[in-house]
Amino acid sequence: MLSPENGKEVCILDLMNFLTLAAKTEGTSGREGHERTRLQPYFEAVAEDIQETALGALIGRVGHEGPKVMISAHMDEIGMTVRLIEKDGSIRLRSVGGVDPRILPASEVTVHTAEGPLFGVVGAKPPHLLTPEEAGRASTMDDMYVDVGLKAEDVRKRVRIGDVVTLVGDVIRLGDDLICGKTMDDRCGVAAMLLCAEELKKNRTPAQVYITASTQEEVGAFGAATAARKIAPDVAIAIDVCHASGAGASPARSMPITKVGLTCGPVIHPALLKIAKEVAQANGIDVQVQASGRGTATDADAIQPLLSGIPCLLISIPLRYMHTTVELISEESVRQAGKLMSLFISQLARRWEEIEWY
């Protein structure tokens, strides 16, 4: 693949570079335009017929015969929006998606104004000034404000209700294999999808694979649902993150960070899961199956009941510290997830006529 960052030919996606640029690109749910523009050249490098949906999802097709397979990885990130500007110029926030107020105090943020980005910090009442009652409870959004260091009238001139506010954070490597930073959820899934697309293209896999960078997953997966209606796939794969063990995550709800997750449950089609498990085993990919009792909280939930029903598979990349600026993933897991997806699709295409769905 031609690396869109430097124009040099690279055989595989430079993940560290891809994720570092991802973390610098604003794209809260419903406002994914910048991230979509960033992803466009990657899509052009591996896919044809690139198109956008009315809700901003980016779709590209790899291959032109065989079963129609949609892959959905969401490009939106959690973030915040300006709710109110106080008399003193401090900015009150509302979360977009699942932002945990406990991680916000002392965070650096960018307020994306019409005139350009404005740097700020999230302030909260100093501990010395807290009442005993305040000190004993967790902070909420109402306890927090953004300080951009300007006079109130200047804040009012530049900042508008509804301006997007994103967290700021660098991407760093921890140890040999782990990558740490913001927006790993789910831009590492987008990366795995691109790695998969590259393999499928190289191997001329007999399937029509629609890679989709979906939108608004963090607020209800509307971007994936509308994209799926447009594509009308025979089968869909959602690729997203799940909880990696560590930081008190219970073993029942998490898995080692070096594995690749598969999910079973009502949203996941058993025939697809069976093939995915067989493919993983035959190719030495270390997977762990997790059980869901109802929804999966991913794009799969939105896609499955559409049209006359779309059989879904969910592949997950384990991640520690979800929805923070220090989301931690294993580079090898991302590559293995991409490999599993491409091998699964190849197998699916080969066995398409003889799959026993139930």
Position 240 contacts Zn ion (CB under 5 A): yes
Length of the chain: 358
Q: Residue 193: helix, strand or coil by DSSP?
A: helix
Nearer to Zn ion, 63 or 318 (CB): 318
Minimum CB separation from Zn ion for residue 76, in Å?
9
Cα separation, 347 vs 327, whole angstroms: 32
What are the structure tokens assigned to 92, written together? 């009150």
- Among the listed residues 163, 186, 198, 301, the single contact to Zn ion using CB under 5 A: 186
Cα separation, 180 vs 173, whole angstroms: 6
The set of long-range contacts for 353-358, using a CB threshold of 8 Å and a minimum separation of 24, is: 355/271, 355/275, 356/271, 357/269, 357/271, 357/311, 358/270, 358/271
Give the gyration radius of the chain's Cα atoms: 21
Residue from 35, 77, 217, 218 carrying the catalytic annotation: 217
Position 327 contacts Zn ion (CB under 5 A): no
Q: Scanning the structure block, which residue is given the tokens 């397979």?
A: 69
Minimum CB separation from Zn ion for residue 158, in Å?
31
Number of residues that bind Zn ion (CB under 5 A): 3
Residue 217 among the catalytic residues: yes
Position 185 contacts Zn ion (CB under 5 A): yes
Position 199 contacts Zn ion (CB under 5 A): no
Which segment (55-63, 178-186, 202-210, 282-290) binds Zn ion by CB under 5 A? Answer: 178-186
Nearer to Zn ion, 185 or 198 (CB): 185
DSSP 294: S
Which segment (14-22, 80-88, 128-136, 237-245) binds Zn ion by CB under 5 A? Answer: 237-245
Cα separation, 85 vs 105, whole angstroms: 18
Position 35 contacts Zn ion (CB under 5 A): no
- Catalytically active residues are 217
Interface contacts to Zn ion, rule CB under 5 A? 185-186, 240
